[in-house]
Amino acid sequence: MVFLIKWSKPAMAHCRLLHRYVSSAAARAAAPIPARHVPRSPGTSAQSARIRELGRLGRLHEAREVFDSMPFRDIIAWNSMIFAYCNNGMPDAGRSLADAISGGNLRTGTILLSGYARAGRVRDARRVFDGMGVRNTVAWNAMVTCYVQNGDITLARKLFDAMPSRDVSSWNTMLTGYCHSQLMEEARNLFERMPERNGVSWTVMISGYVLIEQHGRAWDMFRTMLCEGMTPEQPNLVSVLSAVRHLGKPGILESIHVLVHKTGFERDVVVGTAILNGYTKDVNMLDSAVKFFEGMAARNEYTWSTIIAALSQAGRIDDAFAVYQRDPLKSVPSRTSMLTGLARYGRIDDAKILFDQIHEPNVVSWNAMITGYMQNEMVDEAEDLFNRMPFRNTISWAGMIAGYARNGRSEQALVSLQALHRKGMLPSLSSLTSSFFACSNIEALETGKQVHSLAVKAGCQFNSYVCNALITLYGKYRSIGSVRQIFDRMTVKDTVSYNSFMSALVQNNLFDEARDVFNNMPSPDVVSWTTIISACAQADQGNEAVEIFRSMLHERELPNPPILTILLGLSGNLGAPQLGQQIHTIAIKLGMDSGLVVANALVSMYFKCSSADSLKVFDSMEERDIFTWNTIITGYAQHGLGREAIRMYQLMVSAGVLPNEVTFVGLLHACSHSGLVDEGHQFFKSMSSDYGLTPLLEHYACMVDLLGRAGDVQGAEHFIYDMPIEPDSVIWSALLGACKIHKNVEIGRRAAEKLFSIEPSNAGNYVMLSNIYSSQGMWDEVAKVRKLMKERGVNKDPGCSWMQIKNKMHSFVTGDEEHEQIQNIYATLWELYTLLKATGYVPDTDFVLHDIDEEQKESSLLYHSEKLAVAYGLLVTPKGMPIQIMKNLRICGDCHTFIKFVSSVTKREIDVRDGNRFHHFRNGSCSCGDFW
Residue range 382-441, pLDDT digits in tens: 999 999 998 888 889 999 999 999 998 999 999 999 898 888 887 888 889 899 999 988
* 829 CB-near residues (< 8 Å, 6+ apart): 862, 863, 867, 868, 871
Own/partner pairs, 686-692, CB within 8 angstroms, 24+ separation:
687/659, 687/661, 691/658, 691/659
| Neighbour-count burial of 36, counting CB atoms closer than 10 A to its CB (0-12 exposed, 13-18 middle, 19+ buried) | middle
- pTM as predicted: 0.63
Alpha-carbon span 773 to 654, nearest angstrom: 49
User: Containing H/E element for 772?
Assistant: helix 763-775
Closest CA to 460 of 211, 3, 112, 149: 149
Judge contact between 763 and 796, C-beta under 8 A: yes
- Mean pLDDT confidence for 261-289: 82
* CB hemisphere CA count around 693 (13 angstroms): 20
Strand order in the sheet with 925-926: 808-813, 800-805, 883-887, 910-913, 918-922, 925-926
3-state secondary structure of 284: helix
Rg (alpha carbons) of the chain, rounded to whole number: 36
E strand or H helix that includes residue 808: strand 808-813
Of the ranges 125-129, 180-184, 534-538, which one carries the lowest mean pLDDT score? 180-184
Give the up-direction half-sphere exposure of residue 314: CA atoms within 13 A in the CB hemisphere.
21
Residue range 902-918: average pLDDT? 89
Reported confidence tier of residue 922, pLDDT bands at 50, 70, 90 = very high
Cα gap 532→536, rounded to integer Å = 6
Calculate mean pLDDT across residues 533-538: 90
pLDDT of residue 296: 87
Question: Which pLDDT value is given to residue 805?
Answer: 87
Q: Is 251 exposed, middle or buried (0-12, 13-18, 19+ CB in 10 A)?
A: exposed
CB-hemisphere CA count at 13 Å for 461? 15
CA 867 to chain centre: 43
> 481: number of CA atoms within 13 Å, CB side?
0
Question: For a pLDDT cut of 90, what percent of the chain falls above it?
Answer: 39
Q: Which residue has the higher pLDDT, 245 or 715?
A: 715
Whether the per-residue pLDDT at 62 is higher than 50: the answer is yes
Residue 628 and residue 618 in contact, taking contact as beta carbons nearer than 8 Å = yes
Nearest CA to 894 out of 828, 804, 833 is that of 833
State how far the Cα of 465 lies from the Cα of 431, in Å rounded to an integer.
Answer: 11
Tell me which CATH homologous superfamily contains domain 696-796: Tetratricopeptide repeat domain (1.25.40.10)
The average pLDDT across 654-659 equals 95
* 860: confidence class by pLDDT, cuts 50, 70, 90: low
Phi, psi (deg, nearest 5) at residue 911: -110, 130
CA 629 to chain centroid: 25
- pLDDT tens profile 318-374: 999 999 999 988 887 888 889 888 888 888 998 898 888 877 788 888 888 998 899
pLDDT band at 650 (very low <50, low <70, confident <90, very high): very high
**Cα–Cα nearest to 105, from 76, 84, 130:** 76
What is the rounded average pLDDT of the residues 31-50? Answer: 58
